[in-house]
Amino acid sequence: MTVALEARPGRSRPSLVGHNLTMASGIGLGVSMLWFSLLVLIPLAAVMVTASSGGWAEFWRSITNDQTAAAIRLTVTAAAVVTLANIVTGTAIAWVLVRDRFPGKGLLELVIDIPFALPTIVAGLVLLSLYGNDSPLGLHLANTEWSIYLAFLFVTLPFVVRMVQPVLEELDLEVEEAAASLGASRATIFRRVVLPSLAPAIAAGAALSFARAVGEYGSLVLLSGNLPFESEVTSVRILSAIENDNQAAATSIAAVLLVISLLVIVALDVLQRRVARRG
């Protein structure tokens, strides 16, 4: 058998490309792919192409510019810290929503989704009202590095919760009861029985949360003050490069963010398949 022929044994019909599209669904796929390419794929490719057009040296110089490097460092650090925090609080929130019962729990369900649906610029304003200069709590976080953490925590709140919650709901309580009957304490049950089942969902939520934080812009506009070397994030750097007509710098920094997004997507794909298999 030659390589070119590569007839797979067991395949009775030599289905050329392995599809079962009818005429109508073929057209549907074609039109959808065209739209998806025009809207998403080609523009994102344009970012990568433009970023690489100046060569590696140019790219490297753009992203290692002192102010840019500081912004990237701050963004990635804050996104990582916030994601770690979300892993703990998100799982805790999901746990309370699924396992605990108390009056007003339904209200918490609503509150969780607000950061997702709220316009980001409004989110910034919302946070300013409690943590800005008129803070009723006396917490003046606006225009400091902490405002970045605060905004990230706000906009990424739903991700881990919403990934973990359905998995926790489907979890078979009998397995935990079995573990308890075998003498495991509640902490041990959580660590050895519950947590392993939740792990892929937590990881998927964490990936989404990290990606969202790294690219965040709207909620910071009013809140962070965008002070260079202190509270300026990567997206803001890209925007100022665009406004200064410095396309090379803008696309270079954007390419860095895009690579992070792509990595997250790959991780998500792997994790979601794992969640599906466990479910």
Q: Between residue 145 and residue 174, which ones bind another protein under the rule CB under 8 A?
A: 153-154, 157, 169, 173
Q: Which residue has the tokens 């433009």?
A: 50
Q: Check: CB of residue 115 under 8 Å from CB of residue 245.
A: no
Q: SS3 string of 198-261?
A: HHHHHHHHHHHHHHHHHCCCHHHCCCCCCCCCCCCCHHHHHHHHHHCCCHHHHHHHHHHHHHHH
Work out how close the CB of 217 gets to another protein at its nearest, in angstroms, rounded to a whole number. 4
**Structure tokens of 272?**
């979601």
Please count the residues of this chain forming the interface with another protein, following the rule CB under 8 A.
97
Of 89, 144, 197, 246, which one interacts with another protein (CB under 8 A)?
89
Q: Which of the residues 100 through 129 are near another protein (CB under 8 A)?
A: 100-102, 106, 108-122, 125-127, 129
Shortest reach from residue 40's CB to another protein, in Å: 6
**Smallest distance, Å, CB 75 to another protein?**
10
Nearest CA to 149 out of 231, 250, 78, 83 is that of 78
Contacts of 66 (CB under 8 A, 6+ apart): 229
Per CB under 8 A, 3 contacts another protein: no
Closest CA to 152 of 215, 87, 240, 73: 215
Our CB check for another protein shows the closer of 70 and 85 to be 85
Point out which span in 62-70, 76-84, 224-232, 250-258 binds another protein (CB under 8 A): 250-258
Say if residues 143 and 69 touch (Cβ distance below 8 Å): no
Is there a contact between 234 and 256 (Cβ–Cβ < 8 Å)?
Answer: yes
Distance CA 74, CA 214 (A): 10
62, 165, 231, 234: which one contacts another protein (CB under 8 A)?
A: 234
Of residues 55 and 119, the one with the C-beta less far from another protein? 119
Within 10 Å of residue 244's Cβ, how many Cβ atoms?
10
Q: Which two tokens stand for residue 147?
A: 């405002």
For residue 130, the minimal CB distance to another protein (Å) is: 4
Q: Tell the smallest beta-carbon distance from residue 267 to another protein (Å).
A: 10
Binder of another protein out of 58, 65, 80, 95 (CB under 8 A): 95
Residue 38 is which amino acid? L
Which positions from 7 through 66 interact with another protein, judged by CB under 8 A? Answer: 9-13, 17-22, 24-25, 28-29, 31-33, 35-36, 39-44, 46-47, 50
* Distance separating alpha carbons of residues 252 and 192, to the nearest angstrom: 44
Q: Decide if residue 225 touches another protein (CB under 8 A).
A: no
